[in-house]
Amino acid sequence: RMASKLPPGGRLVTMEVDPYHACISRSVLELSGMSSRAEIWIGHSEHLIPRLGERFGLECVNAIFFDQKGTRYHEDLDLLEDGLLAPGA
């Protein structure tokens, strides 16, 4: 649903630690016709968040939705606040 609400040129990047869930998600994206607007990266957030800047540049994140378990929330937010969040995000 999120991918379908993106403005023209917008991209959705999701991060999934479980390859099984990532595979299912990719299949759903293909079936929904949204695979050109969304990417699913496999791995842990502390390794993947820095790649956002490498792939899309600084201030590339306009919105963020956290759904992880455990205590990574603040650590992940710190990584995003290090130049990846766009003004007003």
The verdict on pTM exceeding 0.85 is: yes
φ/ψ region of 63 (left if φ > 0, alpha if ψ in -120 to 50, else beta) reads beta
Average pLDDT, the chain: 92
Q: How far, in Å, CA of 46 to CA of 78, rounded?
A: 10
Residue 6 has pLDDT above 80, yes or no: yes
pLDDT in tens, 50-63: 999 999 999 999 98
Predicted pLDDT at 68 = 79
Tokens, residue 71: 């205590």
pLDDT in tens, 27-42: 999 999 999 999 999 9
User: Sorting pLDDT into bands at 50, 70 and 90, what band is 66?
Assistant: confident
Tokens, residue 39: 């990417």
Q: How far, in Å, CA of 10 to CA of 7, rounded?
A: 5
